Amino acid sequence: MLIDTYGRVATDLRVSLTDRCNLRCTYCMPEEGLQWLAKPDLLTDDEIVRLVDIAVRMLGIEEVRFTGGEPLLRPGLVGIVERVAALRPRPQMSLTTNGIGLGRTATALKAAGLDRVNVSLDTLRPDVFKTLTRRDRHKDVLEGLRAAREAGLTPVKVNSVLMPGLNADEAPDLLAWAVEHDYELRFIEQMPLDAQHGWKREGMVTAGDILASLRTRFELTPEGADARGSAPAERWLVNGGPHRVGVIASVTRPFCAACDRTRLTADGQIRTCLFATEETDLRAALRSDAPDEEIARIWRLAMWGKKAGAGLDDPSFVQPDRPMSAIGG
């Protein structure tokens, strides 16, 4: 079990498979990209599977989310999914992706055992997409979403970040589109995880702004805390249901008290929080032939020291040195 001093138990593992990405989203990284991790620093496929096995067999992990960077850029992704699906107990598996490569991989991922996907899409306007991501790939994301739905990687969740002056007015249109195509839309407040450290709390599009905008066209009925559980998104029924919309308000409505996550970076570091400034090295233990029991002990100790909250409301908050692309969403 991965328990901390506040009584929270981590049952959800986020695994970053690569720090690389084929987009350059303005809220994540600079246009020229970043200094990527050297290949020897990355966990191998065997090392990833071994760590996930330890997590589900010895530490109580029930859900595994593969992230990046962009996880579809990982050459061995389908094989990793297939091997994790064979673990006992078998964890639920999902993937967070920008969707560009889903058109050609969705069927194979479903056959390998992947349960569902989260796809990032911030706008319905191709010109705004190009401005936000610095790439002209909007239609590829839409094709990837269709492929995921047709392959049965459902529910297909769509993650959207709204930015002032770019797409802040699109919330109602995005929700209407998601309802039409049977996607579950989730808005995410912009978080201080950009490589340029340009995030400013002032002027950000907040959960309150998003809900006010949505209510100009839709009736929203809250599902409530019982339905939410430890999920990061507060959810509302749209016009009485069955469709839902979620808002992940990491900045203005933090949910740290219910957090059930542990995070593994692409280079084998344990992070207790997306906003953590400290990491615990598992790669060194792996490569020094430590037994599973020792790796589990290191992991437990790391999670025992998890802080009460992310500290975003603290004036002394220090943004993590690693951008989101390097630690997984």
Whether the predicted pLDDT of 224 surpasses 90: no
pLDDT (tens digit, 9 = 90+) per residue, 81-105? 999 999 999 999 999 999 999 999 9
pLDDT of residue 192: 64
Among all chains, which residue has been given the structure tokens 């790939």?
Answer: 137
Q: How far is CA 18 from CA 43, 95, 181, 218, 258, in A?
A: 9, 13, 30, 38, 27
Contact 134/166 with Cβ under 8 angstroms?
Answer: no
| Cβ count within 10 A of residue 329 | 20
pLDDT (tens digit, 9 = 90+) per residue, 188-205? 998 765 444 444 556 689
Whether the predicted pLDDT of 227 surpasses 80: no
Residue 209 pLDDT grade (very low, low, confident, very high; cuts 50, 70, 90): very high
CA distance linking residue 282 with residue 262, whole number of Å: 13
Binding site members for [4Fe-4S] cluster:
21, 25, 28, 256, 259, 273
pTM: 0.90
Binding site members:
14, 21, 25, 27-28, 65, 69, 96, 120, 157, 191, 256, 259, 261-263, 273
Most confident of 20-34, 123-137, 248-262, 298-312: 123-137
Q: Bridge-partner residues for 186, per DSSP? A: 159, 246
Residue 61 pLDDT grade (very low, low, confident, very high; cuts 50, 70, 90): very high
Contact 93/85 with Cβ under 8 angstroms?
Answer: yes
Between 250 and 137, name the one with better pLDDT: 137
pLDDT (tens digit, 9 = 90+) per residue, 4-33? 999 999 999 999 999 999 988 887 777 676
What share of the chain in percent tops pLDDT 70?
Answer: 88
Binding site members for GTP:
14, 65, 96, 157, 261-263
pLDDT of residue 199: 46
pLDDT of residue 74: 97
Binding site members for S-adenosyl-L-methionine:
27, 69, 120, 191
pLDDT (tens digit, 9 = 90+) per residue, 62-78? 999 999 999 999 999 99
Name the residue ranges covered by the structural domains of the chain: 2-326
What share of the chain in percent tops pLDDT 90?
Answer: 76
Q: Mean pLDDT across the chain, nearest whole number?
A: 90
CATH topology of domain 2-326: TIM Barrel (3.20.20)
**Quick one: tokens of 134?**
């610095």
pLDDT (tens digit, 9 = 90+) per residue, 263-309? 999 999 999 998 888 999 999 999 999 999 999 999 999 999 999 97
